[in-house]
Structure 1
C-alpha cells in the first residue's frame, strides 16, 4: 500500500516512522464524537503505571485518561480504524518480517497541562508489544499548542513530533524511549501496540 511505503523504509532504517493523513477529517470528527460521548458517560479511567496487580496511578509521571477499545465494537468508524490497522500489520509483516498478529488500542485524553514522562513501552515480563502506534485526533491543532511526542533515538538528537489530527506515529516499542510534553489544549489520540505471537 503506497501510503505505507515511506513508513516501512523509515521503521527499517531508524525504528520509527510517521504517516500524515492516515485518517480523513470526517473519520477524525466521528472518532472525537465517540470519544467525548464515552468520556462524558464516565467510561474513561486514569491511566496507571505497571502491569496487572502492580499497576498504580502516578500523576507526577503520567496524566492521561484512557478507555480500551473492543475490537468487536459496532461503532462503524472504529471498525474502519481497525481495518486500517490490520492493513498496516499486513504491510509491516510483508516488508519488515515482524511476525505481528494483533493489536491492543485505547483512546487517550490528556487534560490541559498533563504529560507522560520518558519511558519505554515494554513490560519486563511481556515482550509481545513490538510496535507502538499513536494516531492523533486533535482537530485544528497548531504547533504552538505543544503536546509533542518526543522520541529518543540512541546516539542522536531527540525527535519532536507534533500531534496533528490524522497523523500516525509508529516506533519500536522495546527500543525507543519517548515522552509526551504538556499542551495548552486537551490532547486526544488513539494509542496502542501491534503485538507478536
Structure 2
C-alpha cells in the first residue's frame, strides 16, 4: 500500500526470513501503547454486537466456541491495523509472489472456557486465504491464563505462541493450529491476507 510506512517494530526482513524458514513470524510491541489502549477500548465497546463464531456458510460448529465481530469501515481504530497489514502484504507479494489482494478481519473474544480446536484456515486451498495474522489487544495477560496459539510450523515442529499484549502472530494459512482453552477473557483481531473474495 503506497504511502503507509510500517511501524519500526515490524522488522520486515526478519518477518520474511521467519516465514520462509518456519512458516510463521512474531512481532512483539507492535504498536505504540496508546494505540493498544484505543483499540482495546473500541473492541470492548462493541462486545454486545459479537456473535457466535461460525465455520463456513454460517454453520455453528463445536470445533470452536469464541465470539466475533467482523470489521467494517465504522471501526476506525481497527482499520488502522488493516492498513498496516495491507502494507505488509505488498512486501509479502514482492518476496514470495503470493498474489495477496485484500485483507478480511474480525475482532475475536475468547471468554473463560472457550477454545478453537485443531484446524487449518485454508482447508484444501478453497478460500483464498494465504497468510493468517492474530493481533492480541487485551492489555494484560499471564501465561497461566491459557489461550495460547498452538501451531505446527512448516517443518512439522509444534510451537506455542503466548497471547501477550501488543503481539502479532503471522503464519501460513494452511498450517495446522488451535487456540488452547482460555481461562480469562482473550481479545484479538484475526485477519487473513487473501487472494480474492471467498468462494463459499
Which TM-score applies when normalising by structure 2?
Answer: 0.87
Of 5-14 and 118-127, the range deviating more from structure 2: 118-127
CA shift at 1:172, angstroms?
Answer: 1.0
- 1:57 aligns with one of 52, 56, 60: 60
CA shift at 1:123, angstroms?
Answer: 4.5
Aligned to 1:191: 190
Partner of 1:166: helix, strand, or coil?
Answer: coil
Distance change in 2, residues 1:56/1:11 (3 Å): same
Distance change in 2, residues 1:124/1:156 (3 Å): closer
Q: Say whether the 8 Å CA contact 2:147–2:181 is kept in structure 1.
A: yes
CA shift at 1:142, angstroms?
Answer: 1.6
- 2:21 aligns with one of 9, 13, 16: 13
Partner of 2:151: helix, strand, or coil?
Answer: strand
Q: Say whether the 8 Å CA contact 1:4–1:19 is kept in structure 2.
A: no
Tell me how large the CA RMSD over aligned residues is: 1.8
Distance change in 2, residues 1:167/1:99 (3 Å): same
Of 153-162 and 90-99, the range deviating more from structure 2: 153-162
Aligned to 1:73: 74
Partner of 1:100: helix, strand, or coil?
Answer: coil
Aligned to 1:163: 163
CA distance in 2, matches of 1:73, 1:98: 29
Partner of 2:101: helix, strand, or coil?
Answer: strand
CA shift at 1:19, angstroms?
Answer: 1.0
Map 1:114-129; keep pairs closer than 5 Å.
114-124=114-124, 126-129=126-129
Q: Which runs of 5+ in 1 are unaligned?
A: none
Aligned to 1:26: 34
CA shift at 1:125, angstroms?
Answer: 7.3
Partner of 1:26: helix, strand, or coil?
Answer: helix
CA distance in 2, matches of 1:94, 1:125: 21
CA distance in 2, matches of 1:87, 1:154: 24
Aligned to 2:138: 138
CA distance in 2, matches of 1:118, 1:137: 23
CA shift at 1:183, angstroms?
Answer: 2.0
Distance change in 2, residues 1:57/1:153 (3 Å): same
Q: C-alpha offsets along residues 2-50 of structure 1, whole Å, 9 cap, x if unaligned?
A: 62221110111111111111222211111111111111xx31100012x
